[in-house]
Amino acid sequence: MIGNLRINIGAGLIGFILTLVFSLQNNLWLTSLIRAGAAFAIWFALAYLLRWVFTVAGEPAKDSAQGREGNSDAADDQLGNRLDMVTPDEDEELMELIKPEPEQRQEGSGFVPLKPPKLVSTKDPEELAKAVRHLTEK
């Protein structure tokens, strides 16, 4: 595993001290020590788990066939480093889609733009002023 037992003990002591300091403000010293001891155990276990995960993640994958030749090991090192892909040529299809057909040009003459009605007030300005005064009154 990566590191040694000192890392676990160091993490546990950090958890112990932090919990003790923050717990002493609100609890009795015995309750604070019990909670700090539990924090030591939890932080110790988390450090152990984290060391184990880093060790497993850092190990190279072991092949099921151990009797491989040396040349295939070099080829395995290169696997996944390059991706060779070619997209098919679709230039002609795209050009046909872009070109408008003669029938579509004639049908396009039926387009009529939208003419929304204008918002014009036909009311007397004095009536509008009275309405605004009425709405603003408390």
How far apart are alpha carbons 45 and 9 in whole angstroms?
10
Give the tens place of pLDDT for each residue, 1-28: 566 888 889 999 999 999 999 999 888 9
Q: Which tens digits make up the pLDDT trace of 31-64? A: 999 999 999 999 999 999 998 888 888 777 665 4
User: Which tokens in the block code for residue 56?
Assistant: 């497993």
Contacts of 136 (CB under 8 A, 6+ apart): none
pLDDT (0 to 100) of residue 65: 47
d(CA 21, CA 29): 10
Position 63 scores a pLDDT of 53
Give pTM, 2 decimals: 0.43
pLDDT tens by residue, 95-111: 787 777 665 555 556 77
Q: How far is CA 5 from the centre of its chain?
A: 35
